[in-house]
Amino acid sequence: MEGIVIKTTGSWITVRMQDNRKVDCKIKGQFKIHGKKSTNPVAVGDHVEVLETPGQEAGLINKIMERHNYIIRKSKKLSKIYHVIAANIDQAFLIVTAAFPRTHAGFMDRFLTTAEAYHIPATIIFNKTDLYDEAMQERHNELETIYTGAGYPVLSVSAFTGFQIEILRCMMAGKITLLSGHSGVGKSALINALQPDLNARTGIISDYHNKGKHTTTFAEMFELNSGGFIIDTPGIREFGLTDFRKEEVAERFPEFRAIMHQCQFSNCTHTHEPGCAVKAAFEEGKIHPSRYRNYISIFNDEEFDEIDYREQ
Ligand SMILES: Nc1nc2c(ncn2[C@@H]2O[C@H](COP(=O)(O)OP(=O)(O)OP(=O)(O)O)[C@@H](O)[C@H]2O)c(=O)[nH]1
Ligand SMILES: [Mg+2]
Ligand SMILES: [Zn+2]
């Protein structure tokens, strides 16, 4: 019988079966994605085939169906091991805040380019707006300018006061939504704000570092009464890119993609070439310096995979 993975811990995988039963499963044998080593061969959102033996409570996953998409990152910088955050998602919400913990644009751009690679629509959600002072509001406005300018939808909310949570709920209706972001930005708190009976565990922010404490340790999918599914994930510190070819980076910046066909050279890298439409747009202030800078940083990143699996 088939089911969908709703939770993965180190050794157990919870599958919601077609008949709505939740079955804890083990996995049979070795699974690799495109020959790569992954910390988790099965991710939340995966469709799987489960073998059940009468008299035994645990099931056995013996097949993972092909994924429509997934969000993947390097498990550590420079490592060759990958972590699939979730699979088969309709949209990704990147949770950030201009309060604490701070999210840098470099991190956001790395997340967004990965979502672009799999055509997963991404939205930026600013949480904790109830905590904003003047400086934070300024920082918020700057980030909002950068990302609305790049074409991303942006929404401000507060899990604490409930501000605009109804809008968030409407945006998730009937869809599978992934929540991602740094530890402590309030991913689990937002889930509880949407539906208190889901009881997602939330943690405190340490006073000293203003960072989260990695309260959520495993990805988990919840069903919302208002329709749709939401995936809570552990906070991530760095977003290591994978599945990238250098030549593809510009295509993953929507505002670059829209004009790069106007560049003089078809193989333009938008770094130094004459007649570059992207550079011209940046110089005219139509592309935000932060986005251009992060493009260059990703382009010059030494972490590109030598082999792109799609060519194998
Ligand atoms: N004032 C305020 N506090 C919030 C808000 N959202 C979350 N918090 C607080 O921020 C802390 C961290 O929230 P969590 O929901 O645990 O954060 P998380 O993103 O799930 O973190 P990890 O599970 O570690 O990745 C908790 O103390 C929450 O109460 C908000 O909108 N306003
Ligand atoms: Mg959490
Ligand atoms: Zn160019």
Over residues 25-52, the pLDDT tens digits come to 998 766 655 566 777 889 999 999 999 9
236: CA distance to ligand 1 center in Å? 14
Residue from 102, 129, 160, 239 to probe ligand 1 pocket by mutation (most atoms less than 8 Å from CB):
160
Q: What share of the chain is helix, strand, coil (3-state, %, to 5)?
A: 25, 25, 50
252: CA distance to ligand 1 center in Å? 30
CA–CA distance, 180 with 193 (Å, rounded to integer): 16
- At residue 40, φ and ψ (nearest 5 deg) are -140, 100
User: Binning pLDDT at 50, 70 and 90, where does residue 303 land?
Assistant: low
Domain boundaries of the chain, sorted by first residue: 2-64, 90-232, 248-311
Give the pTM.
Answer: 0.93
CA–CA distance, 49 with 63 (Å, rounded to integer): 5
CA distances from 184 to 96, 102, 206, 216 (A): 9, 10, 9, 10
184: CA distance to ligand 1 center in Å? 5
Compute the average pLDDT of residues 52-74: 91
Residue 311: the pLDDT is 32
CATH superfamily assigned to domain 2-64: Nucleic acid-binding proteins (2.40.50.140)
DSSP state of 65: P
Q: What does the DSSP assignment read for 244-301? A: --GGGTGGGSHHHHTTGGGSSSTT--SSS-TT-HHHHHHHTTSS-HHHHHHHHHHHT-
**Ligand 1 atom 27 nearest Cα:** 204
Residue 41: the pLDDT is 84
Instruction: Please give the residue that has the higher pLDDT: either 38 or 292.
Output: 292
| CATH topology assigned to domain 90-232 | Rossmann fold (3.40.50)
Among residues 295, 308, 302, 299, which one has the least CA distance to residue 253? 295
Residue from 133, 188, 209 to probe ligand 1 pocket by mutation (most atoms less than 8 Å from CB):
188
Task: Assign domain 248-311 to a CATH class.
Answer: mainly alpha
Residue 30: the pLDDT is 65
